Amino acid sequence: MRAIIYPYNLGSKSARALSFNLTDFRSKRVKPDGKYKHNWNTHAIINWGSSEKPNWYRDERSSLWLNPATIVERATDKVSCLKILKGAGVPTPEFTTLQSVAEQWTRNGDMVYCRTLTRASGGRGIIIATSPSSVRPAPLYTKRLNIKGEYRVHVFNGKVIDYQKKRRREEAIENGDIEDNIRNLDAGWVYCRNKLNRIQDNEQIALDAVKNLGLNFGAVDIVRDVNHNSFVLEVNTAPGLEGLTLVNYANAIKESLNEMGEKRRQWSTYQ
């Protein structure tokens, strides 16, 4: 079975690193509109975050796909993702698409994230509102939780393959440059795994989130509040890969490719 990596961006560092770690499977990165010719019998598509249907293949259902583009499309849109998860009973922060509701939240003393971009990452497109007049038009509003911890749980084919916690960088603490309302890299927050006790609730809701979105794999961002309740923020279909996380994904994909190859051989035998 050959590994065909279909990234949202051909320049993705994680997709490139993944391809390098899958050279035993003759890995190749492809574009949606390139000259690549798909072989449905021997090529397995590893979709790394792309919601675009490629012109070289029309029907995802008859191919060997990990994270089909149509599934990624609904999972990467924050509105559809949260609606699917809520409908499936997976805990999420309170959210609304109505500006009037968001304004009422601020009247009640809550902080609101006005999410002007529904497919952004790293805090892009977020406007923080603390009063009705500061609420801006947006396709999505989420109510801020009183966060005790933030985690990223990586799931692949129904198994947790990696578990991380977001922590402040030491230099950010020393410099006093700590932003707590938007915990991204620019504000001094990074994912770590040292001295980490894994929380079973986090792992279970991560598994539930990936399953109910119809994904084969995903990195689930979870926050845990002061009352020890966990909530899914979003599911990343092209998470950053380095170090042990990269190794874990490569090993999981290799195992999946071997299983695909064996199933294909068995199917050919009985034809």
Q: Report DSSP letters for 235-247, one per residue.
A: EESS----HHHHH
Give the pLDDT confidence of 59-78 residue by residue, as tens digits: 766 668 999 999 999 999 99
56 vs 157, more confident = 157
- For the chain, what are the domain ranges? 2-67+245-269, 94-144, 146-236
pLDDT greater than 50 at residue 133 = yes
pLDDT score at 122: 77
Residue type, 236: N
pLDDT greater than 80 at residue 124 = yes
Helix 78-87 crosses helix 69-76 at what angle (to 10 degrees)? 90
Average pLDDT rounded to a whole number, residues 239-258: 95
Taking the C-alpha atoms of residue 42 and residue 19, their distance in angstroms, rounded to an integer, is 17
pLDDT greater than 80 at residue 188 = no
pLDDT greater than 60 at residue 91 = yes
Average pLDDT rounded to a whole number, residues 95-115: 97
- Do the beta carbons of residue 56 and residue 36 sit within 8 Å? yes
Could you tell me which of 155, 180, 124, 159 has the C-alpha nearest to residue 232? Answer: 155
Confidence class for position 263, pLDDT limits 50, 70, 90: confident
184 vs 268, more confident = 268
Question: What is the pLDDT of the chain when averaged over all its residues?
Answer: 90
107 vs 187, more confident = 107
pLDDT score at 193: 80
Confidence class for position 155, pLDDT limits 50, 70, 90: very high
Taking the C-alpha atoms of residue 141 and residue 95, their distance in angstroms, rounded to an integer, is 5
Q: 146-236: which CATH architecture? A: 2-Layer Sandwich (3.30)
pLDDT greater than 60 at residue 131 = yes
Average pLDDT rounded to a whole number, residues 211-218: 98
pLDDT score at 257: 94
Confidence class for position 40, pLDDT limits 50, 70, 90: confident
